[in-house]
Amino acid sequence: MTGSWKIYVLAIVSFLVGTSEYIISGVLDKIADSLGITITAAGQLITIFSLVYAIMTPVLMALTAKVERRKLLVYSLGVFAVANLLSFALPGYIPFVIARILMAMGAGMVVVTALGIAAKIAPPGKQASSIATVVMGFTASLIIGVPLGRVVAAAFGWKSVFGLIALLGILSMFVLHKAIPKTTGDAPVPLLQQFALLKKPKVALGLAITFFWLGGYSVAYTYLSPYLLNVSGLNEQWISSALFAFGIASLIGSKFGGFSTDRWGVPLTLIGGMLLHIIALIVLTFTDAGVSVMLVFAVLVIWSLAAWSSGPTQQYNLVQLEPNSSGVMLGLNQSMMQLSMAAGAGIGGIAIERISLSSIAWIGAAGVLIAAVVSLVLFQSNKQESTDHAALDA
């Protein structure tokens, strides 16, 4: 098995993790009806998952720093699979929340370890593209997990999706053990030393980009299904197709982000993607399925392409900021991504209750705009630093 195929195996595992996280957004209204809770309360299931993921991932990665990476990946996937099995088997809201907490702990370790392995086994000069491929697996869950999850939920109940993920997770454990070579981790870094990186202005700015970019995205995406039904005016028959189109675009956007970063660099790819992201969210507020269903689809595709082109670019950007602490930076970024998604889901829920469902697109666009401004500040700082170093060398 060649190196590139091993990267795709990691992407498949990343896909399972993404499906378990994103599926909630795709069947939010069905979960609310099934459990007898509000749409906003159902949205907070994403907040709970994201907070546990964000807080526990760096702790667990620090505790397991000496564990060989392939073994850690297989064990973490085992925890994740068991949690999905519990989500499928146990009845009621509280057991589901507990299973989601366990699922988040396993998921965080799986993704960070997979990204770290991908960066280490990638061919020279292909690190960004390899990271993009693993991220692509995560975003591919939007293509299959979310739209098909909605179809499966209608036929067999939303819990059945988690049973399927559990079975695929167990199968993947055996595949990983055979396909992935043994890989050593970075030198163990104590938690306090990890968080000390946050004191560096460049690192703080870099992670702020993640927070506002993905937070803005999450404000709108968390409530996408009810938004499309009640604001854009799509009927139930169109929802799965809309989610499918969104997912296809996310896959292409993620891969393009890695290609563009390797070809044209981080600043152009990141800033360009964010500006298109902002425009798409604003235009979405003016689209109406009563006028044109295809226009709604087109805006969703552009939004998804733009949003997910930033994923691998931002991960590579952070690795470049601290190349000697790549594992730590990827771990911190994963935590920041989840914190931003938790914040986005929470802010979106508040906006729906206090303003309107349609307001989430505007609030999301504002978050991404802040991320674009922070990006400009960081790139200008890097440029000035390079100029200063060149002057000293001269």
Residues 195, 270: one domain? yes
Backbone angles phi, psi at 144, to 5 degrees: -100, -50
Residues 4, 82: one domain? yes
Please give the pLDDT value at position 364: 93
| Nearest Cα to Cα of residue 358 among 296, 295, 304, 285 | 285
In angstroms, the CA 42 to CA 345 distance is 10
Residues 384, 245: one domain? yes
CB 375 within 8 A of CB 274: yes
Q: Comparing 248 with 83, which gets the higher pLDDT?
A: 83
CATH label of the domain that carries residue 28: 1.20.1250.20
**pTM for the whole structure:** 0.74
In angstroms, the CA 230 to CA 241 distance is 16
Q: Based on the structure, what is the number of domains in the chain?
A: 2
Please give the pLDDT value at position 117: 80
The pLDDT-based confidence of 21 (bands split at 50, 70, 90) is confident
In terms of Cβ atoms closer than 10 Å to its own Cβ (0-12, 13-18, 19+), residue 387 is exposed
Q: Comparing 302 with 241, which gets the higher pLDDT?
A: 302
Please give the pLDDT value at position 189: 61
Q: How many Cβ atoms from other residues are within 10 Å of residue 234's Cβ?
A: 22
CB 391 within 8 A of CB 304: no
Give residue-wise pLDDT tens across range 341-383: 888 888 988 888 888 888 898 999 999 999 999 989 988 887 7
Residues 170, 33: one domain? yes
Q: Per-residue pLDDT for 25 more than 60?
A: yes
In angstroms, the CA 228 to CA 232 distance is 5
Q: Which domain holds residue 235?
A: 190-393
Domain boundary, last residue among 151, 172, 188: 188
CB 49 within 8 A of CB 344: no
CB 264 within 8 A of CB 208: no
Residues 293, 153: one domain? no
Residues 209, 128: one domain? no
Give residue-wise pLDDT tens across range 2-11: 456 777 888 8
**Which distant-in-sequence residues (6+ apart) come within 8 Å of 318 by Cβ?**
203, 206, 207, 210, 329, 330, 332, 333
Percent of the chain with pLDDT over 70: 90
Residues 308, 319: one domain? yes
Please give the pLDDT value at position 1: 42
Residues 194, 335: one domain? yes
Give residue-wise pLDDT tens across range 93-148: 888 889 999 999 998 888 888 887 877 776 666 666 777 778 777 767 766 777 77
Please give the pLDDT value at position 278: 94
Please give the pLDDT value at position 274: 93
N-to-C CA span, the chain: 48
Give residue-wise pLDDT tens across range 240-258: 788 888 878 887 888 888 8
Domain boundary, last residue among 157, 188, 219: 188
User: Does residue 66 sit in helix, strand or coil?
Assistant: coil
Domain boundary, last residue among 166, 188, 210: 188
Residues 118, 201: one domain? no
Residues 83, 105: one domain? yes
CB 18 within 8 A of CB 138: yes
Average per-residue pLDDT for the chain: 82
Region 302-322: what's the mean pLDDT? 83
Q: Is the sign of the CA dihedral 345, 346, 349, 354 positive or negative?
A: negative
Strand segments (E) across 234-288: none
